[in-house]
């Protein structure tokens, strides 16, 4: 509740400083006018995503050591709660947790997390293109985004998701609105291409690479890292990873859609996906315990694409953040308390 109050205060202060009128009544009515049933469905979908993520991680870790699915589900929930509480440094908690409890190589475990993020980025780009193709927008926003939808068709026909979005020339007004998303698309496209090229090159040439390393410790670390990429040697493993990545992001999309319905937005699945992509891109900038980037991406999409009043967008962004944040942290907190662990343990692990 403290974090929610802090986020509310920060949002209001930001709008006050910018000199805009703030409709308090709309803000508070949007904050509390929710449908619990849809939010419960959203929470169930959230938990389901951790199960599919754990199955995908199990495939990635299998060349290192076969690990039962139960510990991987727990590690996934604790790891994501660490990201919520500690910010992006919390990404390291999950591989460190499983390395300590299952006695696997930490470096190789980190490699599997990097691979996960690569597949997540690819799925996010595909969902972005799909949502642009089929979403129906208000008339005012439709004129702004018509070129984006045309670009998305080019992306589909050419099987080059992200390409046309990056290079299409937009009118000045639209360009100013979409510059942030184009920059994010550049980062994701370059990062995805670079990651897949690096993974195959590094795994195939690890002996040659280590031969140039004069320090044994660094050479051992590189070999250990390459073990986390062992799934590349088996086509069936890659196929299962793609399947679980697809299933995970279908569940994430359903989670966000039901959450939007719970906040009285009668959005289509495509519209909810577009907002979800914006929030996901924003969450790259993660402020510990508060989020920040998630809410900014959400508010941007709601006000720009769907003409939602700023006060309503801000209020529901806080509800969306809490609906995604609290269930994960609550489950992780229950497990940690029942096993005699604390937040200090996570901070220590991250620092190490």
Residue 36: pLDDT over 70? yes
pLDDT greater at residue 10 or residue 99: 99
Q: What are the angstrom distances between the C-alpha of 37 and each of 263, 266, 273? A: 11, 15, 20
Residue 32: pLDDT over 70? yes
Q: How many folded domains does the chain comprise?
A: 1
Cβ distance 284 to 297 under 8 Å?
no
Asked if residue 7 is part of any domain, the answer here is no
Region class of 23: left (phi > 0), else alpha (psi between -120 and 50), else beta: beta
pLDDT of amino acid 85: 82
Q: What percent of the chain has pLDDT over 90?
A: 16
pLDDT greater at residue 221 or residue 63: 63
Q: What are the angstrom distances between the C-alpha of 294 and each of 183, 302, 343? A: 17, 12, 23
pLDDT-based confidence at residue 55 (cuts at 50, 70, 90): very high
| DSSP H or E run through 53 | helix 36-61
Report the DSSP beta bridge partners of residue 287: 291
pLDDT of amino acid 259: 93
Sign, Cα dihedral of 34, 37, 40, 44: negative
320 vs 131: CA distance, rounded Å: 20
Average pLDDT of span 91-109: 84
pLDDT in tens, 61-70: 888 889 999 9
pLDDT in tens, 166-191: 444 444 544 444 555 555 556 666 76
Residue 318: pLDDT over 80? yes
pLDDT of amino acid 183: 59
Instruction: Please list the alpha-helical segments (H only) found in 159-229.
Output: 163-167, 172-204, 206-211, 216-227
What is the pLDDT of the chain when averaged over all its residues? Answer: 75
pLDDT of amino acid 107: 79
236 vs 215: CA distance, rounded Å: 35
pLDDT of amino acid 203: 67
190 vs 188: CA distance, rounded Å: 6
pLDDT of amino acid 146: 55
Asked if residue 222 is part of any domain, the answer here is yes
pLDDT of amino acid 39: 92
Residue 5: pLDDT over 50? no
Q: Which of 38, 15, 10, 108 is nearest to 263 (CA)?
A: 38
Boundaries of domain holding 312: 23-351
Q: What percent of the chain has pLDDT over 70?
A: 66
pLDDT greater at residue 146 or residue 82: 82
pLDDT-based confidence at residue 304 (cuts at 50, 70, 90): confident
Average pLDDT of span 125-129: 80
Direct distance between the N- and C-terminal alpha carbons of the chain, in angstroms, rounded to an integer: 30
Asked if residue 8 is part of any domain, the answer here is no
Asked if residue 10 is part of any domain, the answer here is no
Asked if residue 307 is part of any domain, the answer here is yes
Cβ distance 273 to 130 under 8 Å?
yes
Residue 287: pLDDT over 70? no
Residue 260: pLDDT over 50? yes
Asked if residue 17 is part of any domain, the answer here is no
Sign, Cα dihedral of 37, 247, 99, 350: negative
- Other residues' Cβ atoms within 10 Å of the Cβ of residue 181: 19
Beta strands in 179-326 (DSSP E): 286-287, 291-292
**Single pTM value for the model:** 0.74
């Amino acid at each position: 509740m403290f974090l929610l109050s802090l986020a509310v205060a920060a949002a209001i202060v930001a709008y006050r400083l910018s000199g805009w009128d703030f409709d308090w009544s709309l803000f508070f009515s949007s904050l509390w006018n929710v449908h619990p049933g849809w939010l419960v469905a959203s929470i169930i979908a959230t938990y389901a995503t951790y199960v599919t993520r754990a199955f995908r991680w199990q495939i990635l870790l299998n060349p290192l050591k076969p690990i039962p699915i139960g510990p991987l589900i727990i590690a996934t929930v604790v790891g994501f709660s660490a990201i919520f509480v500690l910010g992006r440094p919390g990404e390291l908690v999950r591989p460190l947790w499983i390395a300590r409890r299952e006695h696997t190589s930490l470096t190789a475990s980190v490699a599997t997390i990097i691979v996960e993020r690569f597949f997540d980025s690819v799925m996010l780009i595909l969902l972005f293109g799909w949502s642009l193709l089929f979403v129906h927008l208000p008339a005012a926003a439709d004129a702004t985004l018509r070129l984006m939808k045309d670009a998305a068709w080019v992306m589909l026909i050419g099987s080059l998701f992200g390409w046309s979005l990056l290079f299409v020339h937009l009118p000045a007004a639209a360009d100013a609105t979409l510059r942030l998303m184009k920059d994010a698309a550049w980062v994701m496209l370059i990062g995805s291409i670079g990651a897949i090229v690096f993974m195959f090159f590094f795994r195939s040439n690890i002996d040659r690479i280590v031969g140039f390393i004069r320090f044994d410790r660094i050479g051992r670390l590189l070999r250990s890292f390459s073990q986390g990429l062992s799934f590349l040697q088996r086509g069936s493993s890659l196929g299962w990873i793609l399947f679980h990545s697809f299933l995970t992001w279908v569940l994430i999309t359903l989670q966000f859609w039901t959450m939007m319905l719970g906040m009285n937005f009668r959005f289509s699945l495509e519209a909810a996906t577009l907002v979800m992509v914006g929030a996901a891109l924003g969450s790259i900038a993660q402020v510990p315990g508060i989020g920040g980037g998630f809410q900014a991406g959400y508010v941007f999409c709601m006000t720009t694409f769907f003409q939602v009043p700023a006060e309503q967008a801000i209020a529901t962004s806080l509800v969306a953040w809490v609906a995604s944040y609290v269930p994960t942290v609550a489950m992780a907190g229950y497990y940690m308390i029942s096993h005699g662990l604390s937040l200090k343990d996570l901070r220590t692990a991250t620092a190490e």
